[in-house]
Amino acid sequence: MNIKKLEEILDDKVTSIENLGGGCISDTKKISVVSGQKFTVKLYSKDMGIKEANGLKELEISGAIRVPRVLFADKSMLVMEYIAQGNKAGFFFEVFGKQLAALHRHQSEFFGFYEDNFIGTNPQINLPQSSDWISFYFENRLLYQYKLAEKNGYVDNNFKNLFSKIEKRLHSILNGSQEAPSLIHGDLWGGNYIVGLNGEPVLIDPAVYYGHREAELAMTKLFGGFSELFYTSYDDTFPLLQGHEYRQGIYTLYHVLNHLNIFGQGYKPEAISLMKQYQ
């Protein structure tokens, strides 16, 4: 970390640096300065800083749910407000469901985003934007990950045949679920939100684009899901279309393929199982 550059950005002297952890994507630090203010700084090995900043800004524009305020971003560093964490109160998941539904009511004319970004460490292709969700989802989400899996050596004949059948059936699988493009976090699981000091939900680490909101809800269930109150509150605020349970697996498939391409063979059986659901 370039401390001199950071002090110029913050117009203050750094007094302490605390490691907040990270992983394969970034290294996160809590920075304290002379004035007593605290900031969160994320350092990247890839050109991700600006992409994540733009996603956070897009979420903030919606006014639906809290995100860290961006102070500075370049390709390798993101500087944000530091949000002290509190505890989940009894109302947390009810509020979270309502606020996510409000976020999804922030809509666009086209699916995608004005730039490509990242899903984990893999590129997420958002251009060209499209008014056709099914084609967008297949080409920019499923097919992109499939070709990456092919390149990584994970695709055998069985995998290839199953995916070919998904391509042929996708229109019938998603038929009747057409909606306007919703602003979605894009990678919403239990590790990508925090609880603010007042018990409010705060979204972090987005992979933002305008997509189908069913894809967002499917991702929330990939690692065990949230509280049932969350889903009830969401559906009371912005009811999901009939058949969303059936379509959940086809949206989960994108994230499982992405995990296969990041973490390896351990996710292949789950990808095969999901594809077999729609044969």
Mapping DSSP to helix (H, G, I), strand (E, B) and coil, where does residue 170 land? helix
Distance separating alpha carbons of residues 144 and 254, to the nearest angstrom = 9
> For residues 173 and 278, is the Cβ–Cβ distance under 8 A?
yes
Which helix or strand (DSSP H or E) is residue 143 part of? helix 143-151
Distance separating alpha carbons of residues 256 and 179, to the nearest angstrom = 24
Catalytic pick from 74, 156, 187, 236? 187
Q: Known catalytic residue: 187?
A: yes
Distances in Å between the alpha carbon of 210 and those of 13, 256, 261? Answer: 39, 20, 23
Name the residue among 99, 126, 97 with its Cα closest to residue 211: 126
> For residues 188 and 219, is the Cβ–Cβ distance under 8 A?
yes
Mapping DSSP to helix (H, G, I), strand (E, B) and coil, where does residue 269 land? helix
**Catalytic site residues?**
187
